[in-house]
């Protein structure tokens, strides 16, 4: 069966409550800015020259590589050229759904767990294993697109098999891709500091002084490694934490204070600009989903 490609969308929210899978083919550059979302993402590069940023790690990918991204990680695909078509398969799995598929003996979220020693977002498999993983993703995509009797159950079974194999491969291959992952010692330290002190006042001047580097060099290094400015990263990290707090039932005014925003007006504007909803609207939407689950 010939490959079926779907129209590309910049949407970064899920419509389905379980999973969504897309196969894209682009003949032009359509980069998405550094972002995060509330679900797990599995990204398979089929064709093209791509580097992938996850937090402060920059991975140089090859066709056949898999990128595993957890809900709390800021990330971005950075396309190098539009000289050839850019093809990929993207699988999104809702957090609650993936956890429901796990068992007491088998956690299907383990391959995304950044606290596991030797964790890496990049998964590069040997030829035969890579081809099998691609086949599984393509089969899942076919089942997802065809509205035939029983395809929902077949797709769920296919998804479980895929995730079991991904977790086995991640456990076997963990930590073997340092040659394709670049980091910067200063940027690593700055990112770690931001992640630990996001609820405190943070400025470029403060960070430059703390890590004994000029503002110019910090900006240059940070943008090259992370793909955005220091200010933008701090803002997105604070908003990411705020979303988690709101989803957990924390009041918007309290979430604002916990995340280091100077005042509620700034928090309100930033949240609405980033997510297209006010903090209170987002919290209400989460509550509605939980009630109807």
Domain extent for 248 = 184-292
**Do 217 and 266 sit in the same domain of this protein?**
yes
**Do 99 and 191 sit in the same domain of this protein?**
no
Domain count, the chain: 2
Q: What CATH number is associated with residue 226?
A: 1.10.10.60
- What does the mean pLDDT of the chain come to? 89
Q: Quick check: is 237 in a domain?
A: yes
In three-state secondary structure terms, 138 is helix
Listed residues 180, 202, 228: the one ending a domain? 180
Answer yes or no: is pLDDT of 202 > 60. yes
Listed residues 133, 152, 180: the one ending a domain? 180
Query: Mean pLDDT across the stretch 238-243?
Result: 93
**Do 148 and 195 sit in the same domain of this protein?**
no
Adjacent-strand bridge partners of 59: 52, 181
**Do 47 and 154 sit in the same domain of this protein?**
yes
User: What does the angle CA 106 – CA 107 – CA 110 come to, to the nearest 5 degrees?
Assistant: 130
- Rounded to whole angstroms, how far apart are CA atoms 282 and 247? 8
Q: What is the pTM of this model?
A: 0.85
**Do 167 and 63 sit in the same domain of this protein?**
yes
pLDDT at 117: 84
Q: Quick check: is 5 in a domain?
A: no
Q: What CATH number is associated with residue 49?
A: 2.60.120.280
**Do 48 and 158 sit in the same domain of this protein?**
yes
Q: Tell me the per-residue pLDDT of 221-239, one tens digit each, with 9 for 90 and over.
A: 999 999 899 999 999 999 9
Q: Tell me the per-residue pLDDT of 124-157, one tens digit each, with 9 for 90 and over.
A: 998 888 999 999 999 999 998 888 999 999 999 9
Q: Which residues contact 149 (CB under 8 A, 6 or more apart)?
A: none
**Do 193 and 171 sit in the same domain of this protein?**
no
- Rounded to whole angstroms, how far apart are CA atoms 196 and 28? 38
**Do 82 and 66 sit in the same domain of this protein?**
yes
| DSSP element (H, E) containing 122 | strand 122-123
Q: Quick check: is 9 in a domain?
A: no
Please report the sign of the dihedral spanned by the C-alpha atoms of residue 159, residue 122, residue 31, residue 64. negative
DSSP state of 114: T
Q: Quick check: is 229 in a domain?
A: yes
pLDDT at 286: 83
Listed residues 131, 159, 180: the one ending a domain? 180
In three-state secondary structure terms, 180 is helix
pLDDT at 176: 52
The answer to whether residues 159 and 93 touch, using CB atoms and an 8 Å cutoff, is yes
Q: Quick check: is 163 in a domain?
A: yes
Q: Quick check: is 136 in a domain?
A: yes
Answer yes or no: is pLDDT of 34 > 90. no
Query: Mean pLDDT across the stretch 194-203?
Result: 93
User: Residue 9 is encoded by which pair of tokens?
Assistant: 């969308």
Strand-strand pairing, 57-60 and 50-54: antiparallel
Whole-number Cα distances in Å, 231 to 215, 235, 236: 12, 6, 9
Share of the chain above pLDDT 70, in %: 92
**Do 66 and 124 sit in the same domain of this protein?**
yes
**Do 136 and 206 sit in the same domain of this protein?**
no
Answer yes or no: is pLDDT of 178 > 50. no
Q: Quick check: is 1 in a domain?
A: no
Q: Quick check: is 129 in a domain?
A: yes
**Do 131 and 218 sit in the same domain of this protein?**
no
**Do 210 and 258 sit in the same domain of this protein?**
yes
């Amino acid at each position: 069966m010939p490959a079926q490609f779907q129209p590309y969308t910049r949407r970064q929210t899920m419509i389905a409550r379980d999973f969504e899978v897309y196969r894209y083919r682009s003949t032009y550059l359509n980069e998405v800015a550094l972002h995060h979302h509330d679900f797990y993402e599995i990204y398979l590069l089929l064709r093209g020259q791509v580097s992938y940023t996850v937090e402060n790690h920059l991975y140089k990918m090859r066709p056949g590589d898999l990128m595993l991204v957890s809900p709390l990680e800021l990330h971005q695909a950075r396309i190098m050229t539009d000289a050839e078509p850019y093809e990929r398969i993207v699988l999104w799995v809702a957090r609650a759904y993936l956890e429901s598929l796990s068992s007491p003996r088998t956690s299907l979220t383990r391959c995304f767990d950044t606290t596991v020693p030797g964790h890496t977002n990049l998964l590069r498999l040997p030829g035969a294993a890579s081809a099998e993983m691609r086949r599984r993703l393509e089969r899942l995509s076919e089942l997802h697109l065809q509205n035939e009797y029983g395809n929902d159950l077949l797709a769920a079974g296919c998804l479980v098999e895929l995730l079991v194999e991904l977790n086995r491969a991640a456990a076997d291959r963990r930590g073997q891709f340092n040659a394709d992952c670049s980091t910067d010692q200063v940027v690593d330290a700055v990112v770690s500091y931001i992640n630990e002190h996001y609820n405190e006042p943070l400025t470029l001047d403060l960070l430059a002084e703390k890590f004994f580097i000029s503002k110019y060099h910090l900006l240059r290094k940070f943008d090259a490694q992370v793909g955005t400015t220091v200010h933008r990263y701090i803002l997105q990290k604070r908003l990411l934490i705020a979303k988690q707090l709101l989803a957990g039932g924390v009041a918007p005014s309290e979430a604002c204070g916990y995340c280091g925003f100077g005042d509620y007006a700034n928090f309100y504007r930033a949240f609405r600009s980033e997510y297209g909803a006010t903090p209170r609207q987002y919290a209400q939407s989460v509550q509605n989903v939980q009630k109807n689950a």
